[in-house]
Structure 1
Amino acid sequence: VMSNRKRARAAEERPESPESESTEQMSSGHRAGLHTADSFKRAEDELRRDKAAKLSRMSDELSGKNSETVYRDRQGRKLDMLSEFMRQQEEKESKREAEREEYEWGKGTKQKKMEKEYEEELENIRNEPFARAHDDPRLERMRKEELRPDDPMLAYVQKQRAKTGKSTKKAYTGPPPPPNRFGIPPGYRWDGVDRGNGFEARVLAKTNVSRLES
Structure 2
Amino acid sequence: MASRADYLSKYLSKDDTKKPKKKSKKTTSSKENAAPILIEGLDPEDEFEPTNVNLGPATKAKKGFKRIDNGELVMNDKLDHVAAPEDEKPTTIYRDQSGKIVDLQAKRAEIKARQESEAEREKIETDRVNTGELDRVRREKESKELAKATRFDYSKDSSEYAQHISRKDRFEDPMFGRLSTTLPLQPERILDTGRPIYDKGPHPENRFKIKAGHFWDGIDRGNGFEERLVRARDLTYVKKVTDRGAKESYTEYDFE
The TM-score by the shorter chain falls in which range?
Answer: under 0.3
Normalization by structure 2: what TM-score?
Answer: 0.23
Normalization by structure 1: what TM-score?
Answer: 0.26
Of structures 1 and 2, the larger Rg is shown by 2
RCO higher in structure (CA 8 A, sep ≥6): 1
More helix, by proportion: 1
